[in-house]
Copies of this chain bind each other. A is one copy, B any other.
């Protein structure tokens, strides 16, 4: 599920104090995991566990991008206000084509209404386009249809899941 934390429809787009950038290993100390826990189960990770996961993902290079929105004026452990992920799937279809998958979009409950989630999603879509993807897809609840429509997404089908 790409997001369960939408911002209001009237969200302001501009928020110059907040920088959108790639995840860094130091973001563990800036509230990245507690932000993710607002989306789904996200147990705390030790610095070593975090580094292991970070390095596994970094090894995927541009096929796996995590963006964060950082507010440098916030308390150190509360600086990461939004995040989102793009991973690139490679296929035989479409002449060895690539598809971008947007996952794990979340905006801190106290930072909603500032357009930060939309800024993250739009940048992820740009990155996918620059990487040569022929499309970007995501899964969400029906309530978020209008939210993602602001980023150019249209409804294409249903998502199904098996949980173990």
Q: Does A9 contact B (CB under 8 A)?
A: no
Interface size range on A against B: 35 or more
- Which B residues are in CB contact (< 8 Å) with A16? none
- Which B residues are in CB contact (< 8 Å) with A129? 164
Q: A135 to B36, alpha carbons, bound, how many Å?
A: 18
On whether the beta carbons of A42 and B94 are closer than 8 Å, the reply is: yes
On whether the beta carbons of B142 and A158 are closer than 8 Å, the reply is: yes
On whether the beta carbons of B157 and A140 are closer than 8 Å, the reply is: yes
On whether the beta carbons of B157 and A139 are closer than 8 Å, the reply is: yes
Question: Oligomeric state, in number of copies?
Answer: 2
0 or 1 for each of A78-113: is its CB under 8 Å from B? (1 = yes): 000000010101111111100001011000000000
Q: Does A154 contact B (CB under 8 A)?
A: yes
Q: A85 to B90, alpha carbons, bound, how many Å?
A: 11
Q: A53 to B39, alpha carbons, bound, how many Å?
A: 35
Nearest CB of B to A54, in Å? 8
Nearest CB of B to A92, in Å? 6
Q: Report which residue of A129, A152, A163 has the largest number of chain B beta carbons within 10 angstroms of its beta carbon.
A: A163
Nearest CB of B to A118, in Å? 13
Which residues in window 117-164 of A have CB below 8 A to B?
A: 125, 129, 133-142, 145, 148-149, 151-164
0 or 1 for each of A1-30: is its CB under 8 Å from B? (1 = yes): 100000000000000000000000000000
Residues of A with Cβ closer than 8 Å to B? 1, 32-33, 36, 39-43, 45, 49-50, 52-53, 56-57, 64, 85, 87, 89-96, 101, 103-104, 125, 129, 133-142, 145, 148-149, 151-164
